[in-house]
A and B are shown apart, each in its own frame.
Chain A
Amino acid sequence: MAEALHPSGDDRFAVLDKHLKRTHHAQDQLIETLHVAQEVFGYLSDDILMYVARALLLPPSMVLGVATFYHLFNFEAQGEHACSVCTGTACFVKGADAIVAAVRDGYAVAPGATSEDGFLTLRTARCLGSCGLAPVVVIDGNVAGHQDARSTLELIRAQARIPEEVN
């Protein structure tokens, strides 16, 4: 086994450390640092927040305060797949609510949460800026326009490679 690059034994910290070094541990880079941490670890656990606080010499309360202020930071493990439904004005006018309801009921998952089996995270997004294609959903990073409840559920199945249920 290759030797770990980071003393913690978790090489993901090495990526975070590289970013911290590149930005000279600047305190005003806190938001960027949290972005990098989330990208590397998937979500911001208490340990990670504490690690960032120590690295930037900031009080943990401030790091937690900043992290919880912004919508894009997650504090829990994310599902295997992610479905974001745009709920911007154009998508609202075109019926995004029905899509959110269908995914919520279909996978028993509340918006903003992950299904109990860890399969799917459902999010509602602020405008994604593809209003010409409303309603828009993003499944595992792939943007799809002109969606409705049925096509969205199909996309999720296709993404997860789950064959259509046979009745």
Chain B
Amino acid sequence: MATPIDLHEVAERELEDQARYPWRIKACGSTACQSAGAGASISTLESEVVAVGLSDSVRVMSTGCMGLCSRGPLVRVLRRGGEETMYQSVDRDVAVDIVGAVAGRGEVADANRIDRHIPFFTRQHRVVLANAGIIDPDRLASAVAHGAYSALEKAITTMTPDQVVEAIKASGLRGRGGAGYPVGAKWSLLAGASSDQKYVIANGDEGDPGAYMDRTVMEDDPHRVIEGLAIAAYATGATRGYIYVRAEYPKAVERLDRAIRAARRSRLLGRKVLGSDFDFEVQVRIGAGAFVCGEETALIASIEGRRGNPRLRPPYPTESGLFGMPSMINNVETLANIPAIVSKGANWFSSIGTDRSTGTKVFALAGDLTNTGLIEVPMGISLREIVEDMGGGVPDGKVFKAAQTGGPSGGCIPTQFMDTSVDYESLRELGSIMGSGGLIVMDEDTSMPEVARFFMEFCMDESCGKCVPCRAGTVQLHGLLDRICSGEGRPGDLGLLEELCTVVRETSLCGLGQSAPNPVVSTLHYFRDEYESLLQEAAHA
């Protein structure tokens, strides 16, 4: 059996190695930048460094997401001693200029420089994404140099499982998958279950269209997810874990697999983790394209190789879950918070955010905004700060109409509530939800009934068909919305729509059906005039 890794030694060696290079060029190699052409710019950076003879003093590395995806490919140049410059839209020519500037020959055009002091960067508080865009996700040593697995080591060597559960409870961390269930309470349920075999599961089935927070964490800092899951297992007495990833994220699967193998070789996973009596094995499981599998009982069915049909709860998975054993499902972003809580303490964590929504939240900003990409902000920040300051407002002189959160299970927030605090309770009061973190901004040109129809079509396609209210109700709702949107609505359609929404919401089996009417209810509430004018047009046609 291999000797356990000495984390401090590995970290020191890695930092020493990095310090050998006076210059480091970090290029974002995440999916968004790749589709903007990062592959070509990274190979140009590498070949240019060789061409100008600077291989000994400049190190080029590919990292994860730096956040400002709309301006990719992004590149950061770090000089020993602190100075850092960030560049945008780095194509081959700009890459040549960047290496030229490092070599002291010429400069990069101002249009390609990014000001790091814009609110998009300065208002962020990075906990979950602390290492994204900084480390090389494919190298364990790179992650360890930035603190990976030190929390696991601390938990195993200095804390009892109960103490870990108590720390998570005290931190006030709530589930980041959308519903906001207190994480510590869930952990103590699993810890209290008596069984020879318990499972912990990371839910990486990020199905909400417009959201890619979990993908970014899994791709850019896979060790953080694995470490969070291992701490969860230690605290609850589980010995096996699964990371369930949707098949649309092949890179996340590849990186997690590689990270698990590296961690196992270093005795951070497997038998006798870090030389202790704690055993923990992890496996990645791949979905096959079914939104409903984000629901925990459906996810369990899918890991077991069955159709992803949800089932009634209780019994809850903490009593009878995977293969009939006590199991716990935590969202990827939730787990990514765990190492920081264990390392820095519950008080540190609960000092971020609001009283009832502690910590930070990662949002995927998209839609009609100047700056789109990934941000991590403290809970309690106002929507206005996110949209206007960080997002840079709506482009082309258009007017903000609404922000949509929570995807097909959420609702929209119109302009009069721009100053609302972004936390679980406030968003729920407005008829939306925190959701997993998709935040889509829509300008004045967007038709809200069409947005409702879009989400209903999604839910209709994704309904698993097990229960009638969801299977038939989403079809009927979509039919009604389609009729209204195509100008063939009839008088009384809105009443019918509302009644049907109530029935589907009250009687569906799982969260998918129960929340499917939300986008309709929410747009009807705030933008009823749009529905009414469509009906009036139909009446006069």
Binding site for B on A (CB under 8 A): 27-32, 34-35, 62, 65-66, 69-73, 87-90, 92-94, 125-134, 136, 143-145
Asked, given contacts A29-B305, A89-B407, A89-B454, whether A131 binds B210 with beta carbons under 8 Å apart, the answer is: yes
A125 contacts which chain B residues (CB < 8 A)? 248
A31-B286, A131-B438, A133-B32 are known contacts; what are 19 more A-B pairs with Cβ within 8 Å?
A: A28-B323, A30-B306, A31-B302, A35-B288, A69-B307, A89-B404, A90-B210, A90-B372, A93-B440, A126-B291, A127-B207, A127-B210, A127-B212, A131-B69, A131-B367, A132-B70, A133-B36, A133-B70, A134-B366
A69 contacts which chain B residues (CB < 8 A)? 290, 307-308, 464
Contact of B307 among A34, A66, A72, A143 (CB under 8 A): A66
Contact A90 B366 (CB under 8 A): yes
Contact A130 B288 (CB under 8 A): no
Interface size class of B (residues with CB under 8 A): 35 or more
CA distance A73 to B307 in the complex (A): 13
Contact A89 B35 (CB under 8 A): no
CA distance A149 to B60 in the complex (A): 37
B304 contacts which chain A residues (CB < 8 A)? 28
Check B247 for interface membership: any CB of A closer than 8 A. Answer: yes
Most buried by B among A69, A128, A134, A144: A69
Contact of A127 among B208, B307, B373, B374 (CB under 8 A): B208
> Which residue of chain B lies nearest to A28 when distances are taken between CB atoms in the complex?
B305
CA distance A88 to B372 in the complex (A): 15
A30 contacts which chain B residues (CB < 8 A)? 305-306
Q: Which residues 236-271 in B have Cβ within 8 Å of A in the complex?
A: 247-249
B72 contacts which chain A residues (CB < 8 A)? 132-133
Asked, given contacts A69-B307, A130-B212, A131-B210, whether A94 binds B367 with beta carbons under 8 Å apart, the answer is: yes
A93 contacts which chain B residues (CB < 8 A)? 366-368, 440, 442, 446
B212 contacts which chain A residues (CB < 8 A)? 127, 129-131
> Which residue of chain A lies nearest to B246 when distances are taken between CB atoms in the complex?
A126
B249 contacts which chain A residues (CB < 8 A)? 129
Contact A73 B35 (CB under 8 A): no
A89 contacts which chain B residues (CB < 8 A)? 209-210, 366-367, 404, 407, 438, 440, 454-455
CA distance A149 to B468 in the complex (A): 38
Check B479 for interface membership: any CB of A closer than 8 A. Answer: no
Q: Which residues 410-442 in B have Cβ within 8 Å of A in the complex?
A: 438, 440, 442
Q: How far is the CB of A138 from chain B (nearest CB, A)?
A: 8
> Which residue of chain A lies nearest to B34 when distances are taken between CB atoms in the complex?
A143
Q: How far is the CB of A93 from chain B (nearest CB, A)?
A: 5
Asked, given contacts A29-B305, A127-B209, whether A72 binds B438 with beta carbons under 8 Å apart, the answer is: no
